[in-house]
Amino acid sequence: AGLSYTSTDGDTINFTDNSGQSLVLNSYDTVIGFAGGTLARTIAAESGKAATTTFLTANYYQDFGDDPSSIFYDGRGGSQNITSSNIGGFGEIGIGLNYFADVSGKMGGVQRLNAAIRADVRSGDNVSDAYALTAQFRLSF
């Protein structure tokens, strides 16, 4: 569980087409609370020099911060206030596999081999469904 606080300073974007249009991005704060947990199981090889870990993780995030806002100036004296919703609440579920092996003396100067793969899914009210697949391979000398 945790809490993240970010303060974002605003600024002005002036359009370069000499129309006088600009967009003023107002400052805002983001406050995100999160909670989660992981279930994992590690199986060690009989040699004691390798292990495989499978895991399932779940997290929930909630944005308690401001709704970002801005003002669009049309260059002719008119303006329009624009407000976007903050990210709201969303969940994340991941599943993965990690592998570790002590390979000293078997692969030249390589001492350890680590490999991992995981898949994640995120979904929420203001978050489009998102999917991720991550793979990693690392050799330590």
pLDDT tens digits, 35-90: 999 999 999 999 999 999 999 999 999 999 989 999 999 999 999 999 999 989 99
Render the burial of 47-84: b for 16+ CB within 10 Å, e for the rest: eeeeeeeebebebebbbebbebebeebeeeeeeeeeee
Percent of the chain with pLDDT over 70: 100
Give burial (CB, 10 Å; 0-12/13-18/19+) of 90: buried
pLDDT higher than threshold 90 for residue 140: yes
What is the value of pTM for the model shown?
Answer: 0.72
40/56 Cα distance (integer angstroms): 6
Tell me, what's the pLDDT at 108? 80
pLDDT higher than threshold 90 for residue 12: yes
128/126 Cα distance (integer angstroms): 7
Mean pLDDT score across all residues of the chain: 94
Tell me, what's the pLDDT at 47? 92
